[in-house]
Structure 1
Amino acid sequence: MPDPLTPNIVVLMTDQQRVGCTAGEGGPDTMPRLDALLTDACRFERAYTPSPVCVPARTSLLTGRFPTAHRVRQNSTAQHALFESDLLDVLRGAGYSLHFSGKPHMHPGPEDFDSYHGPYFHDSGPERTREHEAFDRWLRALDHGVAEEPTPFPLSAQFPHRIIDGALEALTGTGEEEPFFLWVSFPEPHNPYQVPEPYFSMFEDQVPGRIADADDLAELDWRFRWLRDLFEQKRPGYDAQWRRYRANYLGMLRLIDDQVGRLLDALGDRAEETLFLVLSDHGDFLGDYGLQRKGAGMPEALMRVPLSVAGPGVAAQRRQEPVSLVDVMPTLAEWTTGELPPGAQGRSLAPLLRGEAAPPEEFSSMLGELGYGGISYDERSRPPLHFPYEGRTVDELNSVTLGGEMRMVVTERLKLVVDDRGVHRLFDLETDPAELHDLSEDPARRDDLAAMQRLLLRWMMRTADDLPRGAYIPRTRNHNWRWAQPIAP
């Protein structure tokens, strides 16, 4: 049996799962098995992604570093990740066997794991049967859209089912004496939005309303409007699908949950000695602002992510401190080895998992990053893209809406978003959860704006890279809680 300090670790990761879509988060009852697993968990109810783009977010999760430091800022540059030790290095050094099943979108490859079942992407996976091949062709024909009819393939063709098959194969190769790390990475509920019966009809009468629609775009940053216009040009009237879109999305979550149940059943008693992390890489517009997928700005719909931890030594609690996927690697490193690797920028949440108090100075805010670099475009720009302007094919991750630089900092109530042109947008999330009313020019909020600007500057200095290591060793604090003991002015 694994040592209590080195429990088995299972990461259950979805792609593009927005906060608020499960009963445990106050939404529809989409994931009852996971909610049951998390009954005695630590739920971080204000967790953020470091970047609302798949590969940068996953690289941050693995390295404990913000995109500015690990240098991966778009999905095509995973191989350039910069770090000294990542999560796999840490766990391998602690004696873990390493197993993966699902969608990678990360710098490690099959050679870095003891078993590897994949890769799965959003319209293709390892094809073991003719049924798999036919299903994957059907997905590609859907072109990342919203299916208006139930998927005409059985559950066994769906990626979550095939991925759990791979995870179950991995479990058969794990021993009782050696701790294992199993990363199960679902491509869903990311687009294309499709699901078979009974999931297709399951949530049709439980679709929640939108917090904003296309009529509100005039109040937003130009990038939202540019993306809306592009989608409308290529798929006229697409926003009329928003209820079907949401119903499919919720159905996809239940499908995932049922497959997670297969894994939990197979673990049996071993689940009691396993640390479970349940999380996603970023959110989804889900029709808010008349938009699908992601790709414009840093609204809470994209930046907030589910993040919960359950298992031995974890106190049942719901915590409100802003935390990040950047904190995952340092947390697991401290939990299993007692040490954080050089270059880790995230904070260990291990004391919080045990129910200890969080220093307010350290846990009162969080940073987010976005941008492919270069100079921002503007609303009239129409440069060449990596897909044609003609036809239905569209990619929300493009050089226009993600060009340049954008940063955000968020506290309990306020949020500041700044871009490389010097545009500041300040929001009060308590009174304006849809982020429609910019307060940056309000004289009554001048002090709030100045305080958030100072906080953003402090975070940007914190993301300066300590790597490579040299002759002079930077001063550190326990858990990498750099602001836990503020220095007097």
Structure 2
Amino acid sequence: MRPDIVIVMTDQQRVGLTRRSGYPVDTMPFVDALAERGTDFRNAYTAAPACVPARTSLLTGRFPSAHQVRQNSNAQYARFQQDLLDVLRDADYQLHFAGKPHMHRGEADFDTYAGPYFHTKGPEYSADEKAFDDWLERLDHGVSDEPTPYDVTCQLPYRITSDALKAVDEADPDRPGLFWVSYPEPHNPYQVPQPYFDLVAPEDVPERTAGPEAAEQKGGTYAWLRKLQEEKRPGYDDNWRRYTANYLGMLRLLDDQIRRLHDGLAQRQRPRLTIVLADHGDYVGEYGLQRKGAGLSEFLMRIPFVLAGDGVAVQQRDEPVSIVDVLPTVCEAVGRPIPDGVQGRSLLPLAQGEPAPEEEFAGVIAEQGFGGRAYDVTARPPLHFTYEGRTFDELNTVTQSGGARMLRSGRWKLIVHADLPGELYDLENDPVELDNLFDDERHLAVRARLLHQLTRWQARLTDDLPTGNYVPLRLAHNWRWTATQGEPR
């Protein structure tokens, strides 16, 4: 019997903030328990630290430079042959979506579609929901100093879960289904009602790894964004503990709704493959920054990624994996071929406890930027918002200018820019990425090895969409095939 596919996606969730991952605050007990019953990929990465490029990568199994969606405003230009919805539709799956889309697919592509929900608004079924959404809008993506004055039932995750459970109730029990539930939280605005507001007091928030001085040391877009945020909201970093406490409370609120969703799905008498992940991370105060926007820091690039369900081994895996691996994993789970042009790898064999081909999983890449030359740290170009007032968008002409690619391999991280100096970090000894070893003579051999790995990845990324019967490309992306049959020609 083919399994239901359940995708639970959060937005801007930083990895490492749950008790299972070593954090002292118990933010997501249910998701932690789910990870303990399945496969926890501890070195999972997004394809890009922005919503639409990352979600397009999940759907298409392609990196941004291949699918061509490199910013949040051009989802309609996605280049692919078949995406996740096409594959499942061809396999006679019913398709259900609830939540925040931020993707190239819309309501007409699903059997049921509850949304769109965004960060300050969703479908409103009551006066209280409308009042809550208006209150969210007035926060201007900021941090609330007080508990949200509306009941948890007005919160977007609660409403999204209710919509998703309605789809579960009405779904055909005799056909497998995709149930994609996409939560806008814990993305800004940072707010949460009681009892979540008091999950941890600000004075008890664990210390951050690095403060504002780290942004100045990093320079570039880190320093530029830090300066912009201070101009827009003077003293904003003085409140970083309240911001972090709200963020942690939002994680617990999400966890309760994911539990509620899981309990509702249990009524379907089918095997199930559940994927829980985020699109990208959040600084959560590191570098004296909020939200995202600057650079390819681990705080933005690493994501939670759990596979659970029938046939999935109970284990932790350390291989570097990517959000682009979701599509080929689902293809194998439902018995469909991986579409041509897919650049990800099926993780199902890993989730079933098989060893990973060493060369294929030696590293993982990601990208940032929509091209052009990178702006200098002193730049003040016109933006899509004014320099006056409190409103700002961290994803803007300056922070997203230029282009960069990163490679994570073992303890090492390499970042190559189109027109800026290279970066090389030893993450074991320098998790905040402040000691750039790119030009250190003692690390030239490491740099050369990583540059070679990155070059091989870039050759994969330049694959154009195939035409006709381009079978070798399909086989090249099925590493289970290459592991047993040898390298494709």
Give the TM-score of the pair, scaled to structure 2.
0.96
Q: Distance in 2 between matches of 1:207 and 1:459?
A: 39
Q: What are structure 2's unaligned runs of at least 5 residues?
A: none
Please state if 1:384 is matched with 2:382. Answer: yes
- Tell me which amino acid in the other structure corresponds to 2:101: P
Q: Give me the whole-angstrom Cα distance separating, in 1, the residues matched to 2:295 and 2:91.
A: 39
Aligned to 2:357: 359
Contact 2:142 2:190 in 1 (8 A): yes
Deviation track 1:113-151 (CA, whole Å, cap 9, x = no partner) reads 000100000011111111111111111110000111101
From 109, 120, 139, give the equivalent of 1:112.
109
Choose from 254, 279, 282 the match for 1:281.
279
Aligned counterparts, 1:187-226, within 5 A: 187-204=184-201, 206-226=204-224
* Alignment equivalent of 2:452, drawn from 424, 441, 454: 454
Summarize deviations over 1:145-201 as a string: whole Å, max 9, x none: 011110111111100110011001101111221111100100000000000011001
Q: Secondary structure at the match of 2:6?
A: strand
Residue of structure 2 equivalent to 1:344: 342
Runs of 4 or more above 3 Å deviation: 269-272, 470-479, 482-488
CA distance in 2, matches of 1:105, 1:472: 31
1:44 aligns with 2:65: no
Mapped to 1, the partners of 2:487 and 2:98 lie a distance apart of 46
Q: Which amino acid aligns with 1:256?
A: L
Q: Residue 67 of structure 2 corresponds to which residue in structure 1?
A: 70
Comparing 257-266 with 46-55, greater Cα deviation is found at 257-266
Q: In structure 2, what is the Cα distance between the partners aligned to 1:163 and 1:420?
A: 40
Pick aligned residue for 2:323 from 322, 325, 338: 325
Q: Is the 8 A contact 1:264 1:271 kept in 2?
A: no
How far apart, in 2, do the equivalents of 1:325 and 1:314 lie? 18
The letter of the residue matching 1:159 is L
- Of residues 74, 79, 96 in structure 2, which corresponds to 1:99? 96
Post-superposition offset of 1:478: 6.7
Corresponding letter in the other structure for 1:325: I
Paired letter, 1:340: I
Residues 314-373 of structure 1 show CA distances to partners (whole Å, capped at 9, x for unaligned) of: 111100000000000011011102410111110111111110000111101001100011
**1:392-433, CA deviations, whole angstroms, 9 ceiling, x for partnerless residues?**
001000010111101111101100111111410100001101
Q: Which deviates more, 467-476 or 76-85? A: 467-476
> Which of 135, 139, 143 matches 1:138?
135
Mapped pair 1:255 → 2:257: no
Does 1:169 find its partner at 2:166? yes
Give the equivalent residue in structure 1 for 2:6: 10
Question: Is 2:44–2:323's contact at 8 Å kept on the other side of the alignment?
Answer: yes
Aligned-pair identity in percent equals 55
Letter paired with 1:13 = M
Contact map agreement 1:361 1:483 (CA 8 A) in 2: no
Residue equivalent to 2:85: 88
For residues 335 and 206 of structure 1, do their structure 2 counterparts lie closer, same or farther at Cα, with a shift above 3 Å needed?
farther
**Cα separation, partners in 2 of 1:133 and 1:269, compared to 1, 3 Å:** closer
CA distance in 1, matches of 2:322, 2:406: 13
1:90, 1:270 → 2: CA distance?
A: 22
Which deviations, in whole Å up to 9, do the C-alpha atoms of 1:418-461 show, x marking residues without a partner? 11114101000011011010011211111111111111111111
Residue 268 of structure 1: how far off its partner (Å): 2.8
- Structure 1 residues 240-267: Cα deviation after superposition (integer angstroms, max 9, x where no partner): 1111111101100111111122222222
User: Tell me, what secondary structure is at the counterpart of 2:282?
Assistant: coil
Counterpart Cα distance in 2 of 1:12 and 1:472: 33
Q: Residue 32 of structure 2 aligns to which amino acid in structure 1?
A: D
**1:89 CA drift (Å):** 0.6
Q: Is the 8 A contact 1:372 1:399 kept in 2?
A: no
2-side partners of 1:483 and 1:319: how far apart? 21
TM-score by length of 1: 0.96
Shift in alpha-carbon separation, 1:477–1:152, aligned structure 2, 3 A: same
Q: Which residue identity is paired with 1:7?
A: P
Structure-2 change in CA distance of 1:271 and 1:230 (3 Å): farther
Aligned-residue offset at 1:215: 1.4
SS of the aligned residue for 1:189 comes to: coil
Q: How many equivalent pairs are there?
A: 484
Are 2:27 and 1:30 aligned? Answer: yes
Is 2:342–2:474's contact at 8 Å kept on the other side of the alignment? no
